[in-house]
Amino acid sequence: DTAVSQTPKYLVTQMGNDKSIKCEQNLGHDTMYWYKQDSKKFLKIMFSYNNKELIINETVPNRFSPKSPDKAHLNLHINSLELGDSAVYFCASSQDQGWAQYFGPGTRLLVL
């Protein structure tokens, strides 16, 4: 019974391609997040949704577009992938804003 799941776990693609990462949580949480962890292991918030509404949108290129079809799902679509997009992307959820977060296993994206 995985609490927060992400697909795919690994993603290798060419520059300029478009890709999506999916996230699902079965914890009944209201808030979901996308984080990027770079090669230096810094974990940076990208987006957050609360009850399907976008509440946090940090300084992220507009090539990145989140979508929350319902409270249990938060997907991330990336257009025109660049080399600098290579990182590990983590999805997380929390019961409400500001509460403890539970992370998915991560999606390792490598752009060639």
Residues that bind other proteins (CB under 8 A): 33, 40-45, 48, 55-56, 58, 90, 97-106
**Nearer to other proteins among residue 55 and residue 110 (C-beta):** 55
Give Cα separations from 77 to 91, 99, 100 (angstroms): 13, 26, 25
**Nearer to other proteins among residue 75 and residue 93 (C-beta):** 93
**Nearer to other proteins among residue 18 and residue 96 (C-beta):** 96
- Shortest distance (Å) from residue 88 CB to other proteins: 9
- Shortest distance (Å) from residue 48 CB to other proteins: 7
Contacts of 1 (CB under 8 A, 6+ apart): 26
- Shortest distance (Å) from residue 50 CB to other proteins: 9
Contacts of 71 (CB under 8 A, 6+ apart): 29, 30, 32, 51, 52
- Shortest distance (Å) from residue 24 CB to other proteins: 15
Q: CA-to-CA distance for 98 and 90, rounded, in angstroms?
A: 17
Give Cα separations from 94 to 6, 7, 29, 83 (angstroms): 16, 19, 6, 31
**Nearer to other proteins among residue 16 and residue 36 (C-beta):** 36
